[in-house]
Amino acid sequence: MTDAASEEVADDDATATDDDAYGGVVGAFPYAYRATGSRLFRTYVVAGGLVTGVVVVLFALAVVTLIGATAQATGGTFTFSRAFFVVVMLLVVAPLVAPVLAVARRHRRGGSTVRYDRALAAAGYLFVFSLYVGLVVSAPASLTEGPTGPLAPVVAWLYSLPRAAGVVPPVLAAAAVYAVHRAMR
């Protein structure tokens, strides 16, 4: 075999191995970590993966608790509430993994830049922060003790908002993740 032919085969093998390494959602995380040149995005791959894992475990435990609490009951309402937990979990997890999936896809197709990776990492971190803000807003009154520290006025204001307003920050941040992706194309 000539040198040119062996280099062509080696390039094909490297491409096949690189493409095989990206096998779905779970495989996108290590692939995106290896492919990016942005340290900020690498930190998001790790942090976003950990937050996603925690969210999935918490929702799974919530569904198990709900099933245990409603095991004796029959009817469509209890089935609907179980399915609703899964839908809410997907609505929370999708924006967490979207930056990683988008960057992995763009790197796989050869069209990503460090600027794009950084922008999506920042949008991903914004979504993680918005989840925290949403949890603070929707905290029950029994858990809202008088806040202390330099951010006490902000936390007190967040506690004073209606609990239903806790949905707004994550929805806006999820829209921001999509907007950053579209703007950086």
pLDDT of 66 over the 90 cut? no
Instruction: State the pLDDT confidence band at 26, using cuts at 50, 70 and 90.
Output: confident
Least-confidence region, from 3-12, 75-84, 102-111, 139-148: 3-12
Q: Is the pTM of this model over 0.75?
A: yes
d(CA 2, CA 16): 21
Q: What is the pLDDT of residue 5?
A: 43
Least-confidence region, from 39-48, 51-60, 101-110: 101-110
pLDDT tens column, 110-147:
878 899 999 999 999 999 999 999 999 998 888 888 77
pLDDT of 167 over the 70 cut? yes
Task: List % helix, strand, coil for the chain (3-state, nearest 5).
Answer: 80, 0, 20
Residue matched to tokens 């095991």: 71
Ordered by start, the domain boundaries in the chain are: 27-183
Instruction: State the pLDDT confidence band at 9, using cuts at 50, 70 and 90.
Output: very low
Q: What is the pLDDT of residue 50?
A: 96
Ramachandran sector of residue 149 (left: φ over 0; alpha: ψ -120 to 50; beta: rest): left
Q: What is the pLDDT of residue 17?
A: 47
Least-confidence region, from 10-14, 67-71, 96-100, 128-132: 10-14
pLDDT tens column, 82-98:
778 888 999 999 999 99
